[in-house]
Amino acid sequence: MNELNLPKEAQHALEKAQHCVEKKDYGQAHKILRSLLQVYPHNGQIHLVLGELYSIVEEFDRAISHLSQACQRMPQDYRPIFSLMDTFEAVNAHADVTTLNNFMLAQFRQSPEVLYKAALHCSETGQFTKAKEYCKRCIALCESSSKMVQLLAYAWLLMLKLDASMHCSSSADQLIKLLESQPKNSPQAMLLHYGIGEVFHHLGQTEKAFMQWQQANNIQRMQANFDTQDLATFFGQIKSVHSPFTQHNKRLEHNNNANVEGPILIFIIGLPRTGSTLLETLLSKHSAIESVAETTIISEQLARYFTQHFKQPYPLFMSALLQDSCENDTLLKNARAIYNSAIKKRQLTAPYIIDKLPANFQSIGLIKRVFPDAKIIHLSRNFDDVALSIFRHHFASNEPYFCDLSQLNVYHGFYQSLMAFWHKAFGSEIYRLHYEDLVQQAETLISQVLSYCGLEFEQACIYQQTADPAHTVQDLHIKPIKTLSAVQVRAPISNLSVGNAKPYKAMMNECSK
């Protein structure tokens, strides 16, 4: 039974709790929701918001309990199923995700939102034939509703990744016609510009493709609320607080002989779109390695712990944390326990764990202080190819350097300067790897990376896939790949994307001014 209609006062309280969650005021949100639940214990909406809150703060068992209740009390609503699927994915319960996906499709077979969610899930797990089927059905349903244009645009973007036959003039004509009926700077217009650009790119019409991507980037740039140059102080502080301590690793070596419990961590860092998903996928085939994928455990959970103690944000608290003291030894031990707890919550048990958030390049000093035995792989790629890949893809976050080439150049400068600083400080402790070398000599390079990590090479790391991605999945409960490379990375290793930016170089230079 579900208490469907909350009184107006309770509904306002629920909305306030949701607002608190958006503002990351989780304590206040939790207080409001627990109070509401005492009065309305059978209300599915309250269970849904509370379950989503518990999932955000990684109380996954509680999240699953409340989201399951929300599913039971809101049988005509697919939203609790979506949230429960996401939570099961977070704890690597992939069989449960598949079960929910199938149940959802049976219950809501004519829902375009459900079909898109199923298409996304199947694309992330390599079930491309099913993904295309669901995507086509989603598009067909969305086309008959003027209220579904944004979802239609997302479905088109996914379909263009899944099906090469969609890269044709008729697709461009359809998308352009749809675009003409949309408000000029709307989110759906932005997505359609990205899609049209992708069609023109595959048709070899580079000027038309670039113009469409530029339109998409311009719209998204309007949503960014800061300028990349504003980060200059932050990047400068990282270097200034570490400089006194990074001479010959003097302070960081202090912790090297500590009894460090838990798995050995492998951090893959660099810029986005440099091939980190490919490297993660290859390394994760090793019997001793699992991946936590892209998480903010370092930048949020650990940084928040030290910020609360030292009353200073990252990187300023590093000046105190890099001092030798018994107090710091305790803090470092607690920080490792926080990370290890996050790993256990995700049901990862391998002796080596990959953390592949590219932006962790900003936190290498913190990583080495907390995890002196951590392996850090700096993956780089020709910057023109990186820039084009970022420029032509839609990133959900509205950082200016993801939607403006001139802003990306500024960010690249910060990245280059900081990485030069880290390489000088840590030398061979940071392993350098180039994407172009990886795709040309995968077996040799993966063997060297594994050796750097202290592991023997296993042939399983270099997989061979069939030409048809529909036949590449051996296990339907495999871990999803939740990045822009989800489709590409399941194809055979190739160098097809090397040099992609050459036809666009002049246009990119002009746009970067």
**pLDDT for position 488:** 77
Residues 87 and 179 in one domain: yes
* Nearest of 302, 287, 260, 311 to residue 457 by alpha carbon: 287
Task: State residue 494's pLDDT score.
Answer: 83
Q: At what angle do helices 79-90 and 94-107 cross, to 10 degrees?
A: 170
Please indicate, yes or no, whether residues 289 and 215 belong to a single structural domain of this protein.
no
- Chain position carrying tokens 């004519």: 110
Token digits for 205?
Answer: 């019409």
Low-confidence stretches of the chain (pLDDT beneath 70): 1-4, 246-260, 463-478
Question: What pLDDT, on the 0 to 100 scale, is given for residue 470?
Answer: 45
Within a domain: residue 285? yes
Does residue 506 form part of some domain? no
The CA distance from 298 to 329, in Å, is 18
353 in the same domain as 237: yes
Residue 135 forms part of a structural domain: yes
- The reply to whether 473 falls in a domain is no
483 falls within a domain: no
CATH number at residue 352: 3.40.50.300
Q: How many domains does the chain have?
A: 2
Indicate whether 167 and 293 sit together in one domain. Answer: no
Domain extent for 275: 230-463
**Each residue's pLDDT tens digit, 45-91:** 999 999 999 999 999 999 999 999 999 999 999 999 999 999 999 99
Q: Which of 173, 194, 221 is the last residue of a domain?
A: 221
Q: What is the pLDDT of residues 4-25, one digit of tens each?
A: 688 999 999 999 999 999 999 9
Residue 512: its pLDDT value, please? Answer: 80
Question: Based on the domain organization, do 138 and 119 belong to the same domain?
Answer: yes
Q: Are residues 363 and 435 in the same domain?
A: yes
Predicted TM-score (pTM) of the model is 0.92
Residue-averaged pLDDT of the chain: 91
Examine the fold and report which residue of 221, 244, 259 is the final residue of a domain before the chain moves on.
221
Same domain, 196 and 274: no
Same domain? For 25 and 165 the reply is yes
Q: Is there a single domain that holds both residue 238 and residue 184?
A: no
Residue 340 inside a domain? The answer is: yes
At 496 the pLDDT is 84
Q: Are 320 and 405 part of one and the same domain? A: yes
CA 418 to CA 492: how far, in whole Å?
34
| Final residue belonging to a domain, choices 221, 247, 276 | 221
Task: Give the CATH number for residue 121.
Answer: 1.25.40.10
Neighbours of 102 (CB within 10 A): 11
Query: Is there a single domain that holds both residue 265 and residue 319?
Result: yes
Residues 310 and 176 in one domain: no
